[in-house]
Chains A and B, each alone.
Chain A
Amino acid sequence: MISTLKGIWTRYWGILILLAAWQFFVSINNINSIVAPSPQAVVLSLINNADYFAGEALRTTLTASGGLLLGLLLGIVIAALAWSTPTLSGLLMPMALLLRSIPIVAFVPIIVRIAGYGTHTVLIVTTVLSFFPCYVFALSGFQEVAQVRKDFCRSVGCKTVGWRFFRYVAMPTAVPNILTALRVLAPTALLVALVAEFLIGADGLGYVMLRARSDLEMDKSWAAALLASVLSVAFFALFSWFDKKYRSNWQA
Chain B
Amino acid sequence: MGDLENCVMSNTSHAQTLQAVAGKPREAESASITGPSEIALTNVSKTFALGKGQTLDAVSNVNLNIAGGEFIALIGASGCGKSTLLRMIAGLEDPSQGSITIAGQSPEDCIKRQKLGIAMQEHGLMPWLSAWDNVALPFRLAGLPVDTERVDELLALVGLADFAQALPKQLSGGMKQRVSIARALVLKPDVLILDEPFGALDAVTRRLMNNELQRIWSQQPTTTILVTHSVEEAVFLADRICLMSPRPGRLALIEEVELNRPRGLDTMHEPEFRQTLAKLTAALDDVCTQGSRQ
Contact = CB atoms under 8 A, between A and B. Distances in A.
Interface in A132-166: 146, 148-149, 151-158, 164-165
A252 B125 contact: yes
A148 B122 contact: yes
Contacts of B92: 151, 154-155
Given A151-B118, A155-B117, A251 B127 contact: yes
Interface stretch (A84-92, A167-175, A203-211, A234-242): A167-175
Contacts of A152: 118, 120, 124, 183
Measured as residues with beta carbon below 8 angstroms from the partner, the interface class of chain B is 20 to 34
Interface in B171-209: 176, 183, 187, 193
Contact of A148 (B111, B120, B176, B183): B120
A12 interface: no
A249 interface: yes
Interface stretch (B29-37, B43-51, B133-141, B232-240): B133-141
B141 A153 contact: yes
A148 B176 CA distance: 14
B111 A157 contact: yes
A168 B141 CA distance: 7
A216 B187 CA distance: 74
Interface in A210-252: 248-252
Interface residues of A, number: 22
B113 A168 contact: no
B138 A156 contact: yes
A249 B120 contact: no
B126 A149 contact: yes
Which of B111, B126, B140 has the most C-beta atoms of chain A within 10 angstroms of its own C-beta? Answer: B126
A219 B183 CA distance: 65
A169 B128 contact: no
Given A249-B167, A252-B168, A155 B118 contact: yes
Nearest to B139: A156
Contacts of A175: 128
Interface in B78-111: 87, 90-92, 111
B169 to A, nearest CB: 5
Given A175-B128, A249-B127, A252-B127, A151 B140 contact: no
Which of A165, A250, A252 has the most C-beta atoms of chain B within 10 angstroms of its own C-beta? Answer: A252
B62 interface: no
B137 A149 contact: no
A71 B242 CA distance: 56
B128 A156 contact: no
B151 to A, nearest CB: 14
Interface of A: 146, 148-149, 151-158, 164-165, 168-169, 172, 175, 248-252
Interface of B: 87, 90-92, 111-114, 116-118, 120, 122-128, 137-138, 140-143, 167-169, 176, 183, 187, 193
18 contacts: A146-B122, A151-B90, A151-B92, A151-B118, A151-B120, A152-B118, A152-B124, A153-B141, A154-B92, A155-B92, A155-B111, A155-B116, A155-B118, A168-B137, A169-B126, A248-B169, A249-B127, A252-B125
